[in-house]
Structure 1
Amino acid sequence: MTQSFDIAIVGGGLAGGLAALAFASKDFSCAIIDAGDPKKMRTAGFDGRTTAISYASARVFRRLDLWDQIAPHAEPIRDILVTDGRAKSRFDEGTVSSFHLHFDSRELGDDQPLGFIVENRILRNVMFDAIATHDNITLIAPAKRSATQFDSASAVVTLEDGQEIVAALVVAADGRMSSLRAAANIKTNQWRYRQTGIVATVAHERPHDGVAQEFFLPAGPFAILPMTENRSSLVWTEKSDAADAYMRLDDDKFRIEIENRFGEYLGALEPAGPRWSYPLAFTLAQSYVAPRLALIGDAAHAIHPIAGQGFNLGVKDIAALVDVITEGRDVGLDIGALTVLQNYQQWRRFDSAALALGTDLLNRLFSNDFTPLRIARDISMGAVNSIAPLRTFFMRQAGADIGTLPSLMARET
């Protein structure tokens, strides 16, 4: 069976789902192809992670009429506190630097949070619900792509069951190990960190008051992110050769290790769900486009979670690509032509490469215990904290609110 669409999106995760809804809002017909079973992807056990949504990215969800369903489950980030130190252990009481960096959302004005923390399952379910009712979107899942052919007139995505999806443009939203990117012979710059990300949720005795904390430890950053229902999400970066041992601990011993890093400011802690872990790596595609192909999200760039910017980079990719493709269609151009797609690459690649390399540098600077470097970075944090314009710049950068913004992300008037 052959079906024809304007756009075929390979990958039905958060990036692929959002891309389909964004394109559909501009009257493009879209197919989403994903190897996973949507019923399984909707369950709580499928993905226990959370996502940091910047305040500019939240505008996209509002303009696509998704935010009203997300908002009750989104915890605003009112402050971010960045500190440096060492974890407590049986042999060391631990230390916290006297220098810190405090980002206060009130400095942005308009009662604007710095961002929001939302559970991935909430985002996924809201998107699937919207996709199911949208006339311009067809979800084809579970379905595996077996081949893709590109020619001057169209692209043909062939599935393992023999179905053919014909489209003017294919969007690769198939993750860091993108098979579509590889099939198009797009090379990448990539390396593995000797670090593993451990993700868990904890409930705590005292309110977090919307404060997110980033505690830089020699093994890597330990992020404490505020969630609804007086919970916090932990994104714990640990040396890979130690992470497996922490993952094998029983709940009580795991709680003690969290407390050694968490401190006592939120009172008694209790694990509130399973743990996940994943190896950390850097991937940056050398091109974001090929004839009739555009990369978005992790297929284009997979970065260290140190600043929580991975998903927001993908949101900006989607919003920029929608603007470029819509403008091309409206003036009568072929939306899959390389001359159109290069406008997307020019818009996005430098911005995302700069942020990706910036997070890589931050991780390398802070994930060590070299005393002269520790002193230098602590003094630098203190200096930035004392200069209000610099604080505002970094807050806007974290909010994805700098540079030429796509229409879906533009400031609301």
Structure 2
Amino acid sequence: MAQETYDIVVGGGGYVGIAAAVAIRSAAPHLRIVVIDAAPAQVWRKDQRASAIAAGASRMLTSMGLWDEILKEAQPITDMIVTDSRTSDPVRPIFLTFDGEIAPGEPFAHMVPNYVMVGALRRKAEELGITIEQGVTVEGFENQNASTHVLLGDGRTLVARLLIAADGVRSRLRDMAGIKTVHWSYGQSGIVTTVAHERPHHGRAEEHFLPAGPFAILPLKDNRASLVWTERTEDAERLIKEDDLVFEAELERRFGHKLGALEVVGARRAYPLGLTLAREFVRERIALAGDAAHGIHPIAGQGLNMGFRDVAALAETIVEADRLGLDIGSLSVLERYQLWRRFDTFQMGVTSDVLNRLFSNDSTPVRALRDFGLGLVDRMPALKSFFIRQASGVPGSDGPRLLRGEPI
């Protein structure tokens, strides 16, 4: 079959893959980009989950002309509380509170339904003339001189200067490139679902540290909340299989009664939790982005936002190299992206790992120590402001421009 030529092939049609294509094409409209997505057409519309979009990511989406559309379905997080207790405790004392703004009128994060975000990205991709090949797999690739030849499952070969691997934490493209990972399982699974509740949440997010792991209540529009409920894997699998009455009873024990009657309105899913860090983010002609480069515990709510930080750094690296007439797929160019992202990724991976190990246990001495630490942080406004700024993902002057809301 005849070869098709592009500048960039993106493997993976989730939010990171599509966002990378849109960010690059918006700043360099002459670059030919194709997205290869193995998932069936329209499957993204069935994703009932929601994600926390930090301020840095929302600034990036604003500069890409997407945020106004997404904001219609977004729920700002106005404040956050952290508790530490056992499931059976009648009262859960609040050890830590956070104001939800990093600047007047700018929340540090919004909750956005995944299908809304991906839908907006795909419509923008279509507007920019980005080709999306749906239901097609990448079966292999081989570098030849100044290009990579990407073999598709339907027999076609795509020739490009760069392949972006954004195909998830179990990335086949990463494996094909021979890039090793550091990985371990936590023996935990995250139960994800959506509930409707009787009373308004007023935009408050809550994270309850329980012996089996964190239980996060994240506000959505219309008196609903997205739950990320961590349990030991065997308990999570049992809960998913239980009937509605048992599941809602267990949910109510953890959620409490402060928001009135509860009703599960979303599908329940359980996802195994672990830490996966790629030893390299780039090789000649290939760059990893999103979960293909890093998969972390959801305790800090930073997984998707780390992917968007990858997008901002990679897009700026590629566009600036192209403007200078450099080879956008060469290792010398891609090393800038790797240097930009590896330390932040390692730091966030270690932080999430330590937090999970510290808070997912019921040791009385450890609980006393961590509660003292939470209370100490709560009494130090400057330190709380630093943590909120870090969680917002807004970089300093040396960070990617898109995350500051500036065009490339």
TM-fit CA distance, 1:94: 4.3
Give the match for residue 19 of structure 2.
Answer: 18
Deviations 1:29-70 (CA, angstroms, capped at 9, x unpaired): 21100111222322x3xx221111001110111111111211
Alignment partner of 1:394 is 2:397 = no
Q: Distance in 1 between matches of 2:251 and 2:399?
A: 39
Q: Distance in 2 between matches of 1:273 and 1:347?
A: 38
Alignment partner of 1:124 is 2:127 = no
TM-fit CA distance, 1:228: 0.7
What does residue range 306-321 of structure 1 map to in structure 2 within 5 Å? 306-321=299-314
TM-fit CA distance, 1:75: 0.4
1:134 to 109, 113, 128: 128
Alignment partner of 1:29 is 2:24 = no
Alignment partner of 1:331 is 2:324 = yes
TM-score by length of 1: 0.95
What does residue range 76-225 of structure 1 map to in structure 2 within 5 Å? 76-88=76-88, 93-96=89-92, 98=93, 100-106=95-101, 108-135=102-129, 137-225=130-218
Alignment partner of 1:246 is 2:239 = yes
Alignment partner of 1:408 is 2:402 = yes
Question: Unaligned stretches of 5+ in structure 2?
Answer: none
TM-score by length of 2: 0.96
Deviations 1:105-147 (CA, angstroms, capped at 9, x unpaired): 24x3321112011111111222222222222x11111111111
One-letter amino acid matched to 2:42: K
- Identity level (%): 45
Q: Secondary structure at the match of 1:198?
A: strand
Give the match for residue 266 of structure 1.
Answer: 259
Give the match for residue 70 of structure 2.
Answer: 70
TM-fit CA distance, 1:252: 2.2
Give the match for residue 347 of structure 1.
Answer: 340
One-letter amino acid matched to 2:114: N
Q: How big is the alpha-carbon RMSD for the aligned residues of Structure 1 and Structure 2?
A: 1.4
One-letter amino acid matched to 1:145: V
Q: Distance in 2 between matches of 1:169 and 1:296?
A: 13
Deviations 1:302-361 (CA, angstroms, capped at 9, x unpaired): 000011100100101110011111111111110111000001111110111101110111
Give the match for residue 41 of structure 1.
Answer: 44
Q: Secondary structure at the match of 1:16?
A: helix
Q: Secondary structure at the match of 2:266?
A: coil
Q: Distance in 2 between matches of 1:133 and 1:332?
A: 26
TM-fit CA distance, 1:99: 5.0
One-letter amino acid matched to 1:405: G
Greater CA drift, 67-76 or 398-407: 398-407
Deviations 1:174-220 (CA, angstroms, capped at 9, x unpaired): 11111111111111100011101100100001100000000000000
Q: Distance in 1 between matches of 2:44 and 2:95?
A: 39
TM-fit CA distance, 1:5: 1.2
Q: Distance in 1 between matches of 2:43 and 2:182?
A: 33
One-letter amino acid matched to 2:279: Q
One-letter amino acid matched to 1:37: P
Q: Secondary structure at the match of 2:178?
A: coil
Q: Distance in 2 between matches of 1:148 and 1:327?
A: 26
Contact 2:53/2:111 (<8 A) preserved: yes
Q: Quick one: structure 1 residues 130 and 109, their matched pair in 2 at CA, closer, same or farther if it must change by over 3 Å?
A: closer
Q: Which runs of 4+ in 1 moved over 6 A?
A: none
Q: Distance in 1 between matches of 2:117 and 2:94?
A: 36
